[in-house]
Structure 1
Amino acid sequence: MHYDFDFGIVKDVHKRNKIFNENGKSRGNIRILYFTGYISNFRAQTINMVDGKKVVTKIDKGQVFTEKIDKWRKAMVFTFPDIKPGSVIEYEFNHMTQMLTLPAWFFQEDIPVRYSELITKVPTDHYYRQQARLRQPLVKNTSSTESLTGNVNRMPTTLDVSTRALANVPSLPYEPFMSSQLDNFQSIYFILSGFRQTNNSSLGAVNDTWAKIGGTLADEEDFGRQLKKSLLNEQVLIAKAATLKTDDQKIAYLFNEVKGQMKWNRNDSWYTNDGVVKAWEKKIGNATEINLVLYNLLHKAGITAYPMVVSTRDHGKVYPSYTFIHQFNRGVVYIPVDSTRSYVLDASNKYNLYNQVPDNLLNSSGLYIDKENNAYDI
């Protein structure tokens, strides 16, 4: 992974798998999820030995499909041809994005990994914090420097070059009752904490605290600015809620109405895709859209509620020291009932209850947004 001349991040991937038996043929179905940017220099091939000779079957571009998941995420999908026991499948590509921080790298998978190597090239004026989740020693761990040159519009930049590798990494398949595999894979996470200003005398900050990230979320078009929307025929529901005697009755009524009327499209993200207005009109949306619809109705019914971003069980744990918004993948509603009780509402699942924390959010953390009081806490 490295920076290009415009300081976008480029991830160069080269992967090779050996198919040992019929059960391994499913490894030829590839789906590569990526967030913003684009993929280039894609190549893929199947290698077989036939009568002692190597036979290479390449994948044409027409056999590669792009799946749009939402406004920010896409997936590249393809299937290797002519797979059989003994085949070697291989692919490589470059992913370029304008995201600020390096993506995580996973050395481990649900199958054994013979060798996995990560090379990072980072400008020396970028300051990263790293979180290494390793259970075996690195077989390669080197560092050096080199220059980034070639763009006449920019001054040459010095890069810190680090190489890390693990060998003979055991498989980690999913087991019942285990937490997310992403929490348990041997990996390295990166967070950009700051960068040196051009005058070389001060350190420019990024969103390095949860309060800053909360403030950014509050002003985000796809989140905070969805909190005061007018919904189609909302007056009917709010009027009905007003006839109920207690806040619990109002919460239960609006929760069940949204849960019953809307359908989850099976997509998860901390942001909205079409927005709450369209999602309510179509009666379908991602989990965050459904729950921000609920927030709008609760707020107008006089209930003290706050939007909150969370991480579902399969998405992984939230590490408070790792201040990065993409640790979260769903928006819900947080209601402090009194000093001893609070509700976490998720209306995207038909079996959820308003007064019970959903099982896929247990033992996790959330970041709630209170813009009026400028309070954001995890």
Structure 2
Amino acid sequence: MDLVKFFHMNGGVGEASYSSNSGLQRMGIMKTRRVIEEAVSNLCLSNIKYPKTLVMADLGCSLGPNTLLVGSMVINAVAKTSQEMGLNPPEVQINLNDLPTNDFNTIFCALQERGKKLSTEKVSDVHSPPSCYFTGVPGSYFGRLFPTESLNFVHSSYSLQWLSQLPELEEINKGNIYLASTTPESISKAYYEQFQADFFQFLRCRSEEMMVGGRMVLTLAGRTTEDPRGEESYYLWRPLAMALQEMVSEGLVDEAKFDTFNLPQFTASPTEIMKLVEIEGSFSIDHVEIFDVNWENWKTNKHDNDASQVIETDDNDVGHAVAKSIRAGIETLVANHFGEDILEDVFMRYAKFLTQRKSKKEDQTLVSVTVSLIRKG
């Protein structure tokens, strides 16, 4: 499975787009706001010579209001810190990275329309807001993307749980599409080894691209338990597996196709992440936290002239909303394996099973892990 060739979030700004269905991820980003702004502020304060330009990379930026939201946080932190120090703010260069199949055109159109407002958002009390420049950088963050020692700050949100490729599996993960209690140990081991190799490669590449003392904030879908096959990792995917199983029983999906469909994702624990950071050795750990994003607090994004504004709406069908969000993220994976013909049916069934889960008042939280790192000298 060559993910680089086809994997991307749904483009555009329509009803099925990632732009319109990224509320869950947005909630997670908002919970990391303090960590992001503190990292940027400390970066500015720690420099003996105040930087003239702060160069940032947002890796796995995707598209939509979340992309502009992170940039807004960085600009805000730079402006506030500069004002507190009585200095003119540095210029800010924000490099937006994702795979080549990402819908960069939608991002560029949004930047053209909203860039001026983004640069001054929430810094009206600052006389000299920073000048900000955006660049699109297509490519995999598991390889080199930027010149040596060119980055001051790196951010990535809900991207690094995705593997560079599906690991080679010696056994069939019968009845599952991800790690579950019935998953053979060999499959669980293969998933972890792939995540370990990918995460090491990511850290090594960033260590070469970042300046000494640079900061990096990473947020990943994760878990609190040490067992990757626990229900906490699988409960969001179990209803999708149930939808596919139902279609197999009705003769709508080939059973062999179902048995060979596995998601290229690994939800790591804080312990695993910290251990890998320490083994790789290029970064020191400044801060780690784990938090939940609850489906009940679902918020939808309504697009107006302000890309970073969230308008809260009542949505009684949380299961349907979550299904749309997940579809916006993995539709290309499902279509590549099963074909496009099943998409409407399988995600309709997925929404049904998610709604049933909600009605039973089962756990409706998604675990996230945020780690703030400093590039060692």
Q: Which of the pair has the greater relative contact order for Cα pairs under 8 Å at 6+ separation?
A: 2
Normalising to structure 2: TM-score of the pair? 0.25
Which structure shows the bigger proportion of residues in strand conformation? 1
Q: Which has the larger radius of gyration?
A: 1
Normalising to structure 1: TM-score of the pair? 0.24
